[in-house]
Structure 1
């Protein structure tokens, strides 16, 4: 799995998990959903993604998402 696909999978998992936690426990979990969305948006414009940097240091391959 490439860095791009891992980042997309982790972001999607975080969004689904925080939406579930908001439904089950507290709407404040939607702040985490918003944080993930903002991070994805800024990454689209700046190219900076903390998770991608960590995965690159761990030796994962970079590649196109699609």
Structure 2
């Protein structure tokens, strides 16, 4: 998988997990979904994403 594929997978898993946890464990987990969404919005404007920087360091191919 390429870098963008990994990024979409990780973001989707994080959002899905936080929504499920927010519905079943505690509503405060929804703040994590909002945090992921804010990072995605921020990266669309700036072109920089913390998760992409981490994935590049881990050697994921572009």
Offset at residue 60 of structure 1 (A): 1.4
Provide the residue aligned with 1:28 in structure 2.
Answer: 28
- In the TM superposition, structure 1's runs of 4+ consecutive aligned residues that sit over 4 Å from their partners are none
Offset at residue 61 of structure 1 (A): 1.2
Structure 1: any 5+ residue segments left out of the alignment?
A: none
Q: SS where residue 61 of structure 1 aligns?
A: coil
Provide the residue aligned with 1:51 in structure 2.
Answer: 51
Structure with bigger helix share is 2
Q: Which of structures 1 and 2 has the larger relative contact order (alpha carbons within 8 angstroms, sep 6+)?
A: 1
Whether 2:21 is the aligned partner of 1:15: answer no
How many Å separate the matches in 2 of 1:21 and 1:49? 24
Whether 2:4 is the aligned partner of 1:4: answer yes
Count of aligned pairs between the two proteins:
62
How many Å separate the matches in 1 of 2:3 and 2:40? 14
Q: Report the TM-score, using the length of structure 2 for normalisation.
A: 0.93
